[in-house]
Amino acid sequence: MIFPENFVWGAATASYQIEGAVKEDGRGQSIWDTFSHAPGNVADGDTGDVACDHYHRYRDDVALMRELGLAAYRFSVAWPRIQPDGRGPANPRGLAFYDRLVDELLEAGISPYLTLYHWDLPQALEDRGGWADRDTAHRFAEYAAVVHDRLGDRVQNWATLNEPWVAAFLGYGNGVHAPGRKDPASAMRSAHHLLLGHGLAAARLREAGAASIMLVVNSSPVLTPAQVNDHEAVPDEADAAAVDRVHALLTRQFLDPALHGRYPEEVLAAAGRNGGTGHILDGDLEAINAPIDLIGINYYNPCVVEAGPGLPADAAWPGSEDIRFAPADAPVTAMGWPIVPDGLSRLLVRLSKDYPDVGLMVTENGAAFDDVVEDGRVHDADRVSFLRGHLREVGRAIEAGADLRGYLVWSLLDNFEWAEGYRRRFGIVHVDYATQVRVLKDSALWYRDVIAANRL
């Protein structure tokens, strides 16, 4: 399988998951500092205080990327480094870190893909209501402009938000992520304000001359249990309705407003049952519909559902009454996530039809396994086979006509996996957290060869 010329190969990370240095150079507190330090929220009481110490080791990490032949590196900027309280003038020392990182990448011939928000909201903004408060959207647009002002001369590729579904519904819905709130109405409001922040920021970035603007979503094909292993399976009416509703809540809730300027009926109905739609003001959908260039897709597994008459809504899924979230008949990763590679091609083909005016990029895909270091090597055959299987589906989606521009593996490094802490390793590079020694896993060496050959 040969990939298109100019297909972008890369890897992704996020600020709170790798940087550490949480008190350095004037960085303010984020909701993940607060959340991870409160007992019981993160496995083993882990925090991002040190993480991969990337803040100090970024030069070595960029050298690893160069060794692997990456064309692109997707990282996120920690908002509390730039505006410690989430508003007001920029902290020059915070900006300077990303300035150095970008220069280092460019010198290594690697294109920076900059994500403005990968979940580390300044705590000061959470104290004023967080994403459930409309003002946060305006603060975000201002922050975007501040970052672009400093880096826009060198960074071409901008992403506004990472996975607004997760930020809203795990952060404010089931409380598994920071800030740990459990209120369906706040989660629905947060989703809308994240979208509004996206649109306002996209407009500011465009105005300032950004070449490419992207919204990154976690998306999955929504399937019935029978459809997981049988593409031809035809669900009955009740199951089909469950599938459509969950697809609306997961994917269309974000991409329909961003790309078509309207909410799906199912989402308005869900909001109606959870606090109402009063937070959606005149003009918001026009703002959210600001032109963008790409959708970033983070794919890990399919979402499997069927009709479940009488069931209450899941806390992460306001509006999912009468639906059962079902396991998939498939092998799983160390996260317990089912491995369904062709879910990726099914998803990409569908999204390219539903949103034909923008390009697609796989901005995250990868897997956690229980890696062991043996004689300085990590033989992560499971991860190699996961990546190979998914890349094959990337190729198939391109053959089927999806306008897919690139693939970024999650993740470059083992890192702080949110509520799972450090016990879940997603890296193609192993990190020994006691010594900060990095070791290229077999998957990294394999990926290097795929990149060099531009084929599987």
What are the residues binding ligand FCB (CB under 6 A)?
14, 17, 162-163, 166, 218, 298, 364, 410, 417-418, 426
Contact at 8 Å (CB) between 64 and 58?
no
Q: Quote the CA–CA distance of 290 and 385 in Å, as a whole number.
A: 39
Task: Kindly tell me which of 17 and 83 has the beta carbon lying closer to ligand FCB.
Answer: 17
Give the count of alpha carbons within 13 A of 147, CB side only: 34
Among residues 104, 364, 393, 417, which one is catalytic?
364
Query: CB 435: neighbour CB atoms within 10 A?
Result: 7
Min CB(259)–ligand FCB separation in Å: 20
Min CB(363)–ligand FCB separation in Å: 9
Among residues 163, 306, 393, 417, which one is catalytic?
163
Task: Kindly tell me which of 171 and 264 has the beta carbon lying closer to ligand FCB.
Answer: 171
Min CB(76)–ligand FCB separation in Å: 9
Task: Kindly tell me which of 307 and 328 has the beta carbon lying closer to ligand FCB.
Answer: 328
Which residues are CB-neighbours of 248 under 8 A, at least 6 positions away?
264, 265, 266, 267
Task: Kindly tell me which of 410 and 447 has the beta carbon lying closer to ligand FCB.
Answer: 410
Min CB(166)–ligand FCB separation in Å: 5
Which residue(s) pair with 8 in the sheet?
406
Task: Kindly tell me which of 75 and 418 has the beta carbon lying closer to ligand FCB.
Answer: 418
Catalytic annotation present for 207: no
Contact at 8 Å (CB) between 67 and 127?
no
Structural tokens at position 381: 């055959």
Contact at 8 Å (CB) between 15 and 78?
yes
Structural tokens at position 285: 């959908």
Task: Kindly tell me which of 18 and 287 has the beta carbon lying closer to ligand FCB.
Answer: 18
Task: Kindly tell me which of 225 and 427 has the beta carbon lying closer to ligand FCB.
Answer: 427
- Residue 343, φ and ψ in degrees, nearest 5: -60, -30
Task: Kindly tell me which of 85 and 420 has the beta carbon lying closer to ligand FCB.
Answer: 420
Min CB(322)–ligand FCB separation in Å: 27
Min CB(237)–ligand FCB separation in Å: 32
Min CB(14)–ligand FCB separation in Å: 5
Cα of first residue to Cα of last residue in the chain, in angstroms, is 5
Spacing of C-alpha 433 from chain mean position = 24
Min CB(411)–ligand FCB separation in Å: 7
Catalytic annotation present for 364: yes
Spacing of C-alpha 276 from chain mean position = 27
Q: Quote the CA–CA distance of 344 and 355 in Å, as a whole number.
A: 16
Please report, for residues 286, 340, 366, 396, 400, the alpha-carbon distance to residue 389 in angstroms, rounded to integers and kept in the order given.
39, 9, 11, 11, 17
**Which amino acids are annotated catalytic?**
163, 364
